[in-house]
Chain A
Amino acid sequence: MDQPLSLKLASLCQISQYKLEHILSQCGEKADLIIDPVLIKPLERICGVTWLRQHGIDKIYKMDPQLGSTSNTRRIYFIPACIKKYKCVLDQISSLLSLNPAQADAKCFNIIIVPKFVCTFDSILENKGLYEIVKLHSFSWELMRLDDQLLSLEVPFLYKQLYVEKNQSLLSSIAMSLWSLFHVIGKPKCLMSLGKMSSSVLDLLEVYNETFTRDFVSNNTDDIGAVLVIDRDQDYSSSLLTPATYSGLLSEIFNINCGHLELNVKETKLKKGKLNFTTSKDETAKTAVMSLDSSIDHLYGEIKHRHFSEVLSVLSSKAKLLKNEDIKALGIQEMKQFVATKLQQVTLFKQNLVNHVLASETIISEMNNKFENLTLTESEMLNNRNKRANFTYIDEHFGTDVHMHNSLRLMCLLSLTQGLTYEEYNSLVHKYLLAFGYKFLYVFNNLITSGLLVQPSSPKLSLSNLSNLSDRLPKWQTEFQTVANKLKQLPTKSDSAKSPSYVFNGGYIPLVAVICNALLTSESLAELLTKLSALDDLKIGGSSVDKAKRGMESLNEKITNSNTKTDSENGYRDAKTLLKTLKGDSRTMFTLKPRTVLVYMIGGVTYAEVAACDVIQSVTGSRIIIASDCIASGSDLIAANM
């Protein structure tokens, strides 16, 4: 089983397909598949229509509350784990049953829920009298390979549930995806978590490991040396900042769904979020779809991580090469050969080239005037300089070219890095509500809950409210610069070699890149932990850490101990406590073998972070694989709070 890692990751969809096959085999022959539109693209990565037909699906419909009768009585609904959508399906089934009560005994209704159904789904089913009439299936598909070294679980609704609604019901799905993955690529010897949810994910991973341990068949692979699971709110700045890389800017301007970009140059994400002053409506033009996958589009692979200022010159040099490859100069035989082997390749290449140029043009026309001032202001905020000017910039922005998501992004960034006074906060809120409607008043509370915004204390707030608030605010936010400086995230004037900070125009190094760098360059455990000592909520475990320490604590022990609150949890040790016991001990060597790190971001990773890790891996001669529940830009994060 020594296949290359990249091929193994790409083949994970085979396991997903196997899992789906097992579910479909329980749903009976000849059924209609009714699929929620958001699941179409991910499903396409698991199986095709032909495959579905071979496995009992007759017709396929898009889920629509108004959907009438379909060609078969047997129905399989395919929806994400969202209560609202689930209730909608149940209502539809109820109304079908009221027309034709005999169907109740036919057991012809199945609902497949991605990634799993939770306890409330069961009780709602019971409550609506549909228990035993409707059968629920959890479909926990595996991580999907979107690009080289980029994996996604494609459950984009997870951020909202976890961080805005504070509901961790689907956290076990993250753990399960890791559990499956480790069966394929081996268990890493070092496991780290940063943040409370990540810590829970590793605990849940232990539950799966323990439950199925007696049957665990080790295949002796060890493709990765370490895994880092990290909560999105540990580094919100990397989401909020404006990226300077090509792929990062693509995600600012265009809709990207499951690795496919809709090249809609007229209705961009930037335009749609602003006040519309024109009455004329552009007819919806047919838009091309670009696949953001380097193995399909090599050109994309070459430019995706580049600073945007370099992209056009690369595209231009490619165009010059193409010009030289004109077929006029070819003889008949050569021409035949060309048509048979290279023509399609060249045509595809040209199409990709054209798409990238169109995309770049759109980026320039929408960003060029603003980019310079925007990134300059962001950099000033990060470094805690010119607060008044930064606020004025944002306040003017709210009063003029205000954007539904991106303006809030700036507000959040200022709030996290330099803070907002009560008056400043209200000035922005007022302008925003005038522009987009008072109905969005609640959005600011959601942003506070998810930790993106810090509520300034009102002069009139009572003491009880105050203590309540400070509990809810992660502490690192108030000392943003202190922590960022300790971790060397804010580059000073530097002028040679490549720094990962280029992804934010030289202003900031994403936290994941800092941690990966520490993991890959530390020689002893003490050194690693010292480098990362500014981080709260960092936990570390696994055989490379525990050799010299106490053995792993089993789940049973953990629960027995849960009342006495011991510091060790499932063998994962709090990094700060561990560092104390290691004081002066530089002998505990720490070597990553193999030099491959898996980063799993809970709540959506950004393209800028992926690019930053790419720098680290080339500098340290290692490999970094990024996984997340989805790829989310800053505006996606803000939109999840609406």
Chain B
Amino acid sequence: MDDDDYWNTSETKAKAFSFDDDVLSTREILAIGQKSHPGQSVDSVFTTLNDARTELLPISSLVSPKVLDLMILAQSGRDPNNIKDSEQTLAITLKRIILGRSFSLHQYKSLRNKTELLDGTISIGDGNAILTVVLYLIQTLNKKLVYELLSARPLALNHYISFLQTEGKITELTDLLTMLGRSSEAAVFQFQHIVKTQGNSIDGLLRKVNNLLSNHFNQPGMDAHQNKMVADYIKLLEWQKCSSIPELYNASALSCLLHCVTHHWTEGAGNMMSPLTLCQRQQVTPLQYDWVVLNIHANTNKWDVVESLFTKKDWLGRTTVSSHIPIETLISRLSELKASVQIIATCLNKLTNTEDRLRLAQKYKVS
């Protein structure tokens, strides 16, 4: 079949889930499936898992014993014969590193030999070999020369960066990246290191993130938005420290808002624990604020609050909906939260398009 024809005659099922009418409902299927036969407990079925295992081929019909020995040899990285190759060419050395066999790099003394060694590993692309050689270079060359070699070889450089990062050698990593003109990455690596090592210790976080902000993120050439995020982080940490509620330490802004809405709903703006104060400090978007408030009050069955927040009476006395949450999303969520039909109906009325209104009314079973 011609390739073009094949794709052009193909069918797509661009439809959402829809189900035939004569299909049993899931409850009906479950009823049939769960009717158990006497004397057979449901749990016993899991023991049959091992049946498939018995029908395997014997190993001898998969590979010959000689090949099996090779596989063991390859896995272990041992030498088949203990005699070392007398001549250590570059190719032999590289192969030995890749295969995990013993090797010696001491003969690579000149800068030229070292460079060839590094380029050899890069051309094959085995990360283990690349890192082995890079670490050897670090031991035997001065840093400036190594950095020069690395800066022209991104693959090798990446391996060294990854090594420094997993080893937690953040100062060296910062020096390296700064030297390469990648100080914004260096700052983020440091940030990652701090949040991953400090846990939720609020004092440690405050001290270290503050230092990072003034020494790195606030430097010229850094991304302004990233800078602001770090500054906002510090503001939030400070707020959390003031709150003296350990559960909130290093929690997200919305988690803190959740706490404030639940426990300090009535406190007015200006008060530290007031939801409004927190929103202002953290520049929580009105959409996110509405969403949190809706979910918390609905979950605690305070539907009167929900209604008073999201509806208002216009001058004719009609109730209209007013929320930053897009109306379809709002209706869908209200339905999930098991809001009363009345509230959902009020929302539906907000829709000017009759077609949409009908469709959604059917979807959420509001008639």
A interface residues with partner B (beta carbon < 8 Å): 1, 3, 7-8, 10-15, 18-19, 22, 48, 83-84, 116, 118-120, 123, 137-140, 165-172, 176, 179-180, 183-184, 196-197, 199-200, 203-204, 207-208, 210-212, 215, 217, 219, 244, 275, 277-278, 289, 291, 293, 295-296, 307-309, 312-313, 315-316, 319-320, 322-323, 327, 343-344, 346-348, 350-351, 353-354, 357-358, 360-361, 364, 367-369, 371-372, 375, 379, 396, 399-401, 422, 426, 429-431, 433-439, 441-442, 445, 458, 460-462, 464-465, 468, 471, 488, 491-492, 494-502, 505-507, 509, 517-518, 521, 531, 555-556, 558-560, 562-563, 569, 619
CA separation between A367 and B17, bound complex, in Å? Answer: 10
- A558: B residues at CB distance < 8 A: 123-124
Contact of B125 among A11, A203, A361 (CB under 8 A): A203
Are A212 and B131 interface neighbours, CB within 8 A?
Answer: no
CB distance from A545 to the nearest CB of B (A): 20
CA separation between A37 and B317, bound complex, in Å? Answer: 63
- B296: A residues at CB distance < 8 A: 277
- B52: A residues at CB distance < 8 A: 10, 293, 295-296
CA separation between A249 and B258, bound complex, in Å? Answer: 31
CB distance from A562 to the nearest CB of B (A): 4
Q: Which of B35-59 contact A (CB under 8 A)?
A: 35-37, 40, 42, 44-46, 48-52, 55-59
Are A139 and B254 interface neighbours, CB within 8 A?
Answer: no
CA separation between A184 and B68, bound complex, in Å? Answer: 11
CA separation between A443 and B14, bound complex, in Å? Answer: 34
Are A138 and B326 interface neighbours, CB within 8 A?
Answer: no
CA separation between A197 and B159, bound complex, in Å? Answer: 14
CA separation between A172 and B100, bound complex, in Å? Answer: 10
Are A343 and B63 interface neighbours, CB within 8 A?
Answer: no
Verify if B23 is at the interface (C-beta below 8 Å from A): yes
Asked, given contacts A172-B128, A277-B258, A348-B48, whether A371 binds B16 with beta carbons under 8 Å apart, the answer is: yes
B188-196, B267-275, B306-314, B342-350 - interface stretch: B188-196
- A278: B residues at CB distance < 8 A: 299
CB distance from B6 to the nearest CB of A (A): 7
Q: List 20 A-B contacts (CB under 8 A).
A: A11-B62, A12-B62, A18-B59, A48-B50, A118-B128, A138-B76, A183-B71, A296-B52, A308-B17, A313-B20, A319-B24, A347-B36, A351-B33, A369-B336, A437-B255, A442-B189, A458-B225, A558-B123, A559-B90, A559-B123
Are B95 and A555 interface neighbours, CB within 8 A?
Answer: yes
Contact of B12 among A196, A319, A436, A506 (CB under 8 A): A506
Are A360 and B26 interface neighbours, CB within 8 A?
Answer: yes
* Chain A residue nearest in CB terms to B221: A462
CA separation between A502 and B6, bound complex, in Å? Answer: 14
Are B56 and A372 interface neighbours, CB within 8 A?
Answer: no
Query: Please, what's the 1-or-0 string for B206-234, where 1 marks a CB less than 8 Å from any CB in chain A?
Result: 00000000000000010111100110110
Are B24 and A320 interface neighbours, CB within 8 A?
Answer: yes
Verify if B174 is at the interface (C-beta below 8 Å from A): no
CA separation between A568 and B256, bound complex, in Å? Answer: 59
Are A556 and B91 interface neighbours, CB within 8 A?
Answer: yes
Contact of A309 among B13, B58, B225 (CB under 8 A): B13
Contact of A400 among B28, B29, B37, B291 (CB under 8 A): B291
Are B95 and A562 interface neighbours, CB within 8 A?
Answer: no
Are A119 and B11 interface neighbours, CB within 8 A?
Answer: no
- A327: B residues at CB distance < 8 A: 37
Given contacts A119-B135, A344-B48, A438-B229, 20 further A-B contacts (CB under 8 A): A1-B61, A11-B59, A14-B58, A14-B62, A168-B127, A169-B131, A200-B125, A208-B74, A215-B67, A219-B64, A277-B258, A313-B23, A348-B48, A399-B287, A401-B291, A426-B225, A434-B285, A437-B251, A441-B229, A441-B233
Are A200 and B126 interface neighbours, CB within 8 A?
Answer: yes
Are B29 and A315 interface neighbours, CB within 8 A?
Answer: yes
- B192: A residues at CB distance < 8 A: 442, 445
Are A399 and B123 interface neighbours, CB within 8 A?
Answer: no
Verify if B104 is at the interface (C-beta below 8 Å from A): no
Are B63 and A219 interface neighbours, CB within 8 A?
Answer: yes
Are A204 and B98 interface neighbours, CB within 8 A?
Answer: yes
Q: Which of B107-132 contact A (CB under 8 A)?
A: 116, 119-120, 122-128, 130-132
CA separation between A464 and B159, bound complex, in Å? Answer: 22
Are B17 and A439 interface neighbours, CB within 8 A?
Answer: no
CA separation between A521 and B28, bound complex, in Å? Answer: 46
CA separation between A246 and B315, bound complex, in Å? Answer: 52
Asked, given contacts A8-B62, A400-B333, whether A518 binds B126 with beta carbons under 8 Å apart, the answer is: no
- B99: A residues at CB distance < 8 A: 207-208, 211
Among B116, B125, B185, the most chain A Cβ lie within 10 Å of the Cβ of B125
Asked, given contacts A347-B40, A357-B33, A400-B287, whether A501 binds B10 with beta carbons under 8 Å apart, the answer is: yes
CA separation between A293 and B128, bound complex, in Å? Answer: 35
CA separation between A433 and B284, bound complex, in Å? Answer: 10
Are A468 and B181 interface neighbours, CB within 8 A?
Answer: yes
* Chain B residue nearest in CB terms to A430: B229
- B189: A residues at CB distance < 8 A: 442
| Total chain B interface residues with beta-carbon distance under 8 A | 137
Verify if B106 is at the interface (C-beta below 8 Å from A): no
Asked, given contacts A347-B45, A506-B12, whether A168 binds B37 with beta carbons under 8 Å apart, the answer is: no
Asked, given contacts A165-B165, A309-B16, A357-B33, whether A496 binds B11 with beta carbons under 8 Å apart, the answer is: yes
Contact of A559 among B18, B35, B94, B292 (CB under 8 A): B94
Contact of B42 among A307, A312, A351 (CB under 8 A): A351
- B252: A residues at CB distance < 8 A: 433-438
- B8: A residues at CB distance < 8 A: 492, 494
CA separation between A360 and B19, bound complex, in Å? Answer: 12
Asked, given contacts A212-B70, A319-B33, A445-B185, whether A357 binds B14 with beta carbons under 8 Å apart, the answer is: no
Among B24, B48, B49, B165, the most chain A Cβ lie within 10 Å of the Cβ of B24
Q: Which of B226-256 contact A (CB under 8 A)?
A: 226, 229-230, 232-233, 236, 250-255
Are A347 and B11 interface neighbours, CB within 8 A?
Answer: no
* Chain A residue nearest in CB terms to B89: A556
The 6 closest A-B pairs by CB, nearest first: A200-B125, A499-B10, A506-B12, A168-B127, A438-B233, A166-B158
Are A167 and B127 interface neighbours, CB within 8 A?
Answer: yes
Verify if B352 is at the interface (C-beta below 8 Å from A): no
Contact of B250 among A165, A439, A498 (CB under 8 A): A439
Verify if B340 is at the interface (C-beta below 8 Å from A): no
- A313: B residues at CB distance < 8 A: 19-20, 23
Q: Which of B67-88 contact A (CB under 8 A)?
A: 67-68, 70-77
Verify if B166 is at the interface (C-beta below 8 Å from A): yes
CA separation between A511 and B257, bound complex, in Å? Answer: 44
Verify if B318 is at the interface (C-beta below 8 Å from A): no
Are A396 and B74 interface neighbours, CB within 8 A?
Answer: no
CA separation between A8 and B59, bound complex, in Å? Answer: 10
CB distance from A406 to the nearest CB of B (A): 16
CB distance from A564 to the nearest CB of B (A): 11
Are B30 and A357 interface neighbours, CB within 8 A?
Answer: yes
CA separation between A460 and B332, bound complex, in Å? Answer: 41
Are B225 and A429 interface neighbours, CB within 8 A?
Answer: yes
Are B159 and A368 interface neighbours, CB within 8 A?
Answer: no
Are B49 and A351 interface neighbours, CB within 8 A?
Answer: no
Are B11 and A434 interface neighbours, CB within 8 A?
Answer: no
- B221: A residues at CB distance < 8 A: 460, 462, 465
Are A562 and B119 interface neighbours, CB within 8 A?
Answer: yes
Are B195 and A439 interface neighbours, CB within 8 A?
Answer: yes
Are A312 and B131 interface neighbours, CB within 8 A?
Answer: no
Contact of A15 among B17, B30, B63, B181 (CB under 8 A): B63
Verify if B288 is at the interface (C-beta below 8 Å from A): yes
* Chain A residue nearest in CB terms to B72: A22
Are A437 and B29 interface neighbours, CB within 8 A?
Answer: no
- A22: B residues at CB distance < 8 A: 72, 75-76
CA separation between A210 and B26, bound complex, in Å? Answer: 58
Asked, given contacts A15-B71, A204-B126, whether A437 binds B20 with beta carbons under 8 Å apart, the answer is: no
CB distance from A609 to the nearest CB of B (A): 17
Asked, given contacts A312-B19, A521-B1, whether A3 binds B68 with beta carbons under 8 Å apart, the answer is: no
Are A498 and B251 interface neighbours, CB within 8 A?
Answer: no
